[in-house]
């Protein structure tokens, strides 16, 4: 692989103060500090709405040149619309995120469990709407999608499949684009809403993921991995462990 990007899902968590962020650090300075510790972040806030262009410009300014942002598509597109009538919102989202310029990494379409293979024709139509020149990743939460027909559809459009560490999704060793994108989500029922430290030892799981990624590294150029706080309890700690494992 040419590039390895490992970070967390989001960066603005009060529970990280003292355990990751210095006690006296202002929230407005979190991203700049974060970007000196990790080389990528998955923007979670874009799931809830398209940010202002001034906000995106501010993100761009405070991180290093080689830093990469991944971003989640707005839920209005992936969860609420059935992929119908979203052309204007799609254009607004892409135009806005383009403000990250060369620091923009993959754009993630996270679909819900209710998004089933019966909607494959709708997905195929939607993928044709996506502007070229960007890197896209699709995440499904329903295992019925995981077959050759689905993989071929993604490959046809050079779109990545998000590999998940998630309670009801199997781990699959497959690459549908030139990048591998892994989301370490965990089980929300097993992790309390206390993100000050790790609650679960994920060493064995990380070892298994390391082997899977090594098996794919000859097929891809880039690896992106993002840790959710619900994976172990404190995603910066777990992300650092995985960085060391892949070094």
| Alpha helices by DSSP H, the chain | 30-34, 53-62, 75-78, 87-97, 120-129, 148-156, 203-216, 229-232, 235-246
Q: What is the pLDDT of residue 57?
A: 99
Kindly report the three-state secondary structure assignment for every residue of 80-138: CCCCCCCHHHHHHHHHHHHHHHHHEEEEEEECCCCCCHHHHHHHHHHHHHCCCCCCEEE
Mean pLDDT throughout 76-103?
97
pLDDT range class, residue 218, cuts 50, 70, 90: very high
- pTM exceeds 0.85, yes or no: yes
pLDDT range class, residue 138, cuts 50, 70, 90: very high
> How many beta carbons lie within 10 A of that of residue 100, not counting itself?
19
Per the CB < 8 A criterion, the answer to whether 231 and 202 are in contact is: yes
Residue 5 has pLDDT above 90, yes or no: yes
- Between CA 192 and CA 247 the distance in angstroms is 30
Q: What is the pLDDT of residue 192?
A: 87
- Domain ranges in the chain are 3-246
> 6 to each of 63, 71, 100, how far by Cα in Å?
15, 14, 18
Which CATH code fits 3-246? 3.20.20.410
Mean pLDDT throughout 83-110?
98
Mean pLDDT throughout 65-83?
97
pLDDT range class, residue 130, cuts 50, 70, 90: very high
């Amino acid at each position: 692989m040419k590039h390895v990007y490992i970070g967390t899902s989001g960066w603005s968590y009060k529970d990280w103060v003292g355990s990751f962020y210095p006690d006296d650090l202002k929230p407005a300075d979190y991203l700049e500090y974060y970007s000196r510790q990790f080389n990528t972040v998955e923007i979670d806030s874009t799931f809830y709405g398209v940010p202002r262009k001034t906000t995106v410009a501010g993100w761009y300014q405070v991180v290093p040149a080689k830093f990469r942002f991944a971003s989640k598509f707005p839920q209005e597109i992936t969860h609420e619309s059935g992929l119908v009538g979203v052309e204007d919102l799609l254009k607004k989202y892409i135009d806005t995120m383009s403000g990250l310029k060369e620091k923009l990494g993959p754009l993630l379409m996270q679909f819900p469990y209710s998004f089933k293979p019966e909607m494959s024709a709708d997905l195929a139509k939607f993928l044709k709407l996506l502007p070229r020149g960007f890197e896209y990743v699709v995440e499904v939460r329903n295992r019925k999608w995981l077959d050759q027909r689905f993989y071929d559809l993604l490959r046809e459009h050079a779109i990545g499949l998000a590999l998940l560490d998630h309670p009801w999704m199997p781990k699959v060793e497959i690459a549908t684009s030139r990048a591998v994108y892994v989301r370490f989500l965990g089980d929300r029922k097993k992790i309390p809403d206390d993100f000050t430290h790790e609650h679960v030892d994920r060493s064995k799981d990380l070892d298994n993921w390391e082997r899977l990624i090594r098996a794919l590294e000859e097929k891809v150029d880039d690896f992106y991995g993002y840790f959710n706080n619900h994976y172990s309890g404190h995603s910066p700690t777990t992300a650092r462990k995985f960085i060391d494992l892949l070094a």
